[in-house]
């Protein structure tokens, strides 16, 4: 009778060992699955690019330009959302005028955008302007100086998107250029995790789309 407790102890130790092995196998399986999914996504992106996916080719060509030369520090590319962001420094303070460096940066990627729109009849480009939430204290009416007239952030953001569009169009023909449209969102869409007053919210986002 005295030996029975020790038998139960041995069985519990065995079960604990089995559970530990099972848990280890589960962890290994989860890690392998995550690695396999990441590898699959990468291979899928490469496959799309090699098969002529216009968005994948566009992002690949832009990635070679953004962050180097004239575009360094003024642009950011997000290949997950197919967006090119023109940062705050591309415009003069309170103005829709592109700085000379910004204009050179935009012109550096203009040929890629032209090929994307002209070569793909279903391609569209959305040029969206955003601001911080600092209010406009008084209307701006000096068009020559500010490249626009505005009395609120929505009007200013739309004007910045319009000026960016003008620089992006370049030599694109009028028919293809109709698929490059602008919108101004003012302070209504601050960047996630940022104070609405943060100057980083002052930006223009260029989104690339292909309609099915």
pLDDT in tens, 75-98: 888 988 999 998 877 888 889 999
| 172 DSSP assignment | -
| Average pLDDT estimate for 119-144 | 93
Work out the pLDDT band at 26, boundaries 50, 70, 90: confident
Q: What pLDDT score does 50 carry? A: 44
Q: Which residue has the higher pLDDT, 132 or 29?
A: 132
3-state SS string for the chain: CCCHHHHHHHHHHHHHHHHHHHHHHHHHHHHHHHHHHHHHHHHHHHHHHHCCCHHHHHHHHHHCCCCCHHHCCCEEEECCCCEEEECHHHECCCCCCECHHHHHHHHHHHHHHHHHHHHCCCEEEEEEEECCCCCCCCCECCHHHHCCCECCHHHHHHHHHHHHHHHHHCCCCHHHHCCEEEEECCCCCCCCCCCCCCHHHCEEEEEEEECC
What residues pair up with 129 in beta bridges, in sequence order? 184, 204
Residues 70, 105: contact at Cβ < 8 Å?
yes
Has residue 48 got a pLDDT over 60? no
7 or 180: which leads in pLDDT: 180
Name the pLDDT band for 32 (thresholds 50, 70, 90).
confident
Q: Name the pLDDT band for 130 (thresholds 50, 70, 90).
A: very high
| pLDDT value of position 47 | 47
- Give the mean model confidence (pLDDT) for residues 111-138: 92
Instruction: Report the alpha-carbon distance of residue 54 to residue 146 in Å, rounded.
Output: 36
| pLDDT confidence of residue 129 | 95
Average pLDDT over residues 121-132: 94
Q: What is the mean pLDDT of residues 126-132?
A: 94
Name which residue leads in pLDDT, 172 or 71: 172
Q: Say if residue 113's pLDDT is above 70.
A: yes
Q: What is the mean pLDDT of residues 151-157?
A: 95
Check whether 122 has a pLDDT greater than 80: yes
Summarised one tens digit per residue, pLDDT across range 178-195 is: 999 999 999 999 999 999
């Amino acid at each position: 009778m005295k030996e029975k407790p020790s038998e139960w102890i041995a069985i519990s130790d065995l079960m604990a060992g089995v559970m530990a092995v099972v848990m280890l196998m589960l962890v290994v399986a989860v890690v392998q699955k995550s690695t396999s999914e990441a590898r699959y996504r990468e291979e899928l992106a490469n496959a799309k690019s090699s098969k002529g996916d216009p968005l994948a080719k566009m992002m690949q060509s832009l990635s070679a330009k953004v962050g180097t030369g004239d575009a360094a520090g003024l642009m950011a590319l997000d290949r997950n959302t197919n967006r090119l962001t023109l940062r705050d420094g591309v415009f003069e303070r309170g103005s829709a005028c592109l700085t000379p460096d910004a204009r050179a940066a935009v012109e550096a990627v203009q040929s890629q955008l032209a090929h994307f729109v002209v070569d793909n009849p279903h391609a569209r480009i959305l040029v969206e302007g955003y601001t911080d939430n600092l209010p406009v204290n008084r209307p701006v009416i000096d068009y020559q100086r500010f490249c626009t007239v505005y009395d609120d952030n929505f009007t200013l953001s739309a004007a910045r998107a319009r000026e960016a569009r003008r620089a992006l169009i370049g030599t694109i023909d009028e028919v293809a250029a109709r698929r490059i449209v602008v919108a101004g969102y003012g302070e209504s869409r601050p960047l996630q995790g940022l104070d609405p007053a943060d100057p980083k919210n002052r930006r223009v986002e260029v989104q690339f789309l292909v309609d099915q």
